[in-house]
């Protein structure tokens, strides 16, 4: 009798474990078997997978137009910072940017940091002597969205933008751990004292939430271009458009030019492409 009960309970315990494990296992196995790793395959696979048939916004940064013009990079970054009320947090002692607390949506960094998986040995003078623009990749398979415990970051179904809901974020910073591009910043303290002038059309953030580039979703809704694109409109250095529409300008440039993505091997299918 005692033995029977013991063995029954053992089975009950194992069943309970299976019950807990099953949804997790089901979710893990539902990922496409072969997430395309090759950059040139990336956008094709995205268009063909049919996961998001509608609009999928992407960006193409033609770095050739930035080489030798660091002022253009700064113009782009300043435009974004101004439009989104991004604080400029400086170290109180040195007066330089505060590496620990800073907030970055789009910023510049050397090639070796922007493309850590590419060889930076014997790189050309152009590559070594210029900084590169980096921002959120608005991935088709975003790791940050996968890990968020509250759906505070999510993919907008109608345009593929990886968006943030600051009202819901609990500040666990799991998305910052998951993002392979370092695109996310956390508000370690109240950002307002570090904003010199407000854009009245956009909120600031509060302390304790994560933020990042939103592809200027709020500007797109008003029929405007993203702020970074607009800042260097004359040069055409940044092209923005629908990756799923072969007629779009971005798709035509992609079809013509050799482009790369940042760390495509992570299977995130980034939507930002570079000509270097």
Partner 1 sequence: MIEKALKGSPLYWGWLALLLVLMALGAACYIRQFNFGMGLTGMGRDLAWGLYISQFTFLVGVAAGGLMLVLPFYIHNYKVFGRLTILGEFLAISAIAMCLMFVMADIGQPIRALNMILHPTPNSMLFWDMVVLVGYLTLNIICGWVILTAEKKEVKPPKWVYFFVYVSIPFAVSIHTVTAMLYCGLPSRHFWLSAITAPRFLASAFAAGPALILIFCVIMKKFAHFDAGKEAVNKLITIIMYAAIINAFFVCMEFFVGYYSNVPGHIHALEYLFFGLEHDGHVYNNLVPFMWLSVIMCFAGLAVFSYMKLVKVQTDTLVVLGCALTFLSLFLDKGLGFVLGGLVVSPLHEIVEYYPTLNEILVSVGIWATGFFLVTMLYKIAVTVEHEVEV
Partner 2 sequence: MYNKGLIVPGLVVFVFIATFPFWYNGLSAGPVPKPELPPGGEKSCVAPAAVMRAEHMTMLNVWRDEVLRNGDRVAVVVDGKEYRKGLQTACMSCHTDQEKFCNTCHAYTAVKPYCWDCHLTPANIVAKKEKQ
Compute the least distance from the CB of residue 168 to partner 2, in Å.
Answer: 9
Interaction of residue 118 with partner 1, rule CB under 8 A? no
Q: Which of residues 71-100 bind partner 2 (CB under 8 A)?
A: 85
Instruction: Give the one entry of partner 2, partner 1, none that residue 24 binds, where binding means its C-beta sits below a cut-off of 5 to 8 angstroms depending on kind.
Output: partner 1
Q: Which two tokens stand for residue 273?
A: 């492409």
Minimum CB distance to partner 1 smaller for 87 or for 241: 87
Q: 236-246 burial, b if ≥16 CB within 10 A, otherwise e?
A: ebbbbbbbbee
Interaction of residue 193 with partner 1, rule CB under 8 A? no
Per DSSP, the residues of the chain read -HHHHHHHHHHHHHHHHHHHHHHHHHHHHTS-SS---SHHHHHHHHHHH-TT-S--EEEEEEGGGTTT-HHHHHHHHHHHHHHTT----B-TTT-SB-TTT---SEEEEEHHHHSTTS--TT--HHHHHSEEEEE----SS-HHHHH-SSSSEEE-TTT--EEE-TTT-----HHHHH-TT---EE-SS-SGGG-SS--TTS----TT-EE---TTHHHHTTTPPPHHHHHTGGGT-EEEEETT-TTSHHHHHHHHS--B-SSGGGS---SEEEE-
Minimum CB distance to partner 1 smaller for 99 or for 125: 99
Mark residues 213-252: x for contact with partner 2 by CB under 8 A, - for none: ----xx--x-------------------------------
Interaction of residue 28 with partner 2, rule CB under 8 A? no
Q: Which two tokens stand for residue 275?
A: 């000509």
Mark residues 48-87: x for contact with partner 1 by CB under 8 A, - for none: ----------------------------------------
Q: How far apart are CA 146 and CA 24, in angstroms?
A: 12
Interaction of residue 17 with partner 1, rule CB under 8 A? yes
Among 205, 228, 264, 276, binds partner 2 (CB under 8 A): 205
Compute the least distance from the CB of residue 154 to partner 2, in Å.
Answer: 7
CB atoms within 10 A of CB 250: 21
Mark residues 165-204: x for contact with partner 2 by CB under 8 A, - for none: xxx---------------------------xxxx-xxxxx
Interaction of residue 114 with partner 1, rule CB under 8 A? yes
Compute the least distance from the CB of residue 255 to partner 2, in Å.
Answer: 28
Binding region for partner 2 (CB under 8 A): 85, 154, 156-159, 163, 165-167, 195-198, 200-206, 217-218, 221
Binding region for partner 1 (CB under 8 A): 5-6, 9-10, 12-14, 16-17, 20-21, 23-24, 27, 99-104, 109, 112-114, 116, 134, 143, 146-152, 168-174, 176-182, 185-190, 207-210, 263, 266-268
């Amino acid at each position: 009798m005692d033995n029977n009960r013991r063995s029954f309970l053992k089975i009950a315990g194992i069943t309970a474990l299976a019950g807990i494990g099953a949804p997790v296992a089901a979710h893990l196995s539902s990922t496409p078997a072969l997430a395309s790793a090759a950059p040139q395959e990336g956008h094709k696979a995205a268009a063909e997978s049919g996961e998001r048939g509608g609009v999928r916004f992407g960006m193409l940064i033609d770095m050739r137009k930035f080489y030798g013009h660091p002022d253009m990079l700064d113009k782009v970054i300043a435009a974004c910072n101004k439009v989104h009320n991004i604080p400029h947090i400086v170290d109180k002692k040195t007066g330089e940017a505060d590496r620990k607390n800073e907030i970055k949506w789009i910023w510049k960094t050397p090639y070796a940091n922007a493309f850590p998986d590419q060889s930076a040995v014997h790189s050309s003078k152009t590559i070594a002597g210029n900084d590169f623009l980096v921002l959120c990749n608005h991935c088709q398979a975003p790791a940050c969205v996968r890990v968020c415990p509250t759906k505070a970051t999510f993919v907008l179904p109608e345009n593929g933008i990886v968006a943030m809901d600051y009202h819901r974020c609990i500040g666990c910073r799991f998305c910052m751990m998951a993002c392979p591009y370092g695109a996310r910043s956390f508000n370690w303290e109240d950002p307002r004292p570090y904003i010199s002038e407000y854009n009245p059309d956009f909120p600031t953030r509060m302390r304790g939430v994560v933020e990042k580039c939103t592809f200027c979703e709020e500007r797109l809704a008003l029929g405007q271009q993203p702020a970074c694109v607009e800042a260097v409109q004359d040069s055409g250095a940044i092209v923005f458009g629908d990756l799923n529409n072969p007629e779009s300008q971005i798709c035509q440039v992609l079809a013509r030019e050799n482009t790369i993505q940042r760390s495509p091997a992570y299977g995130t299918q980034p939507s930002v492409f570079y000509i270097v």
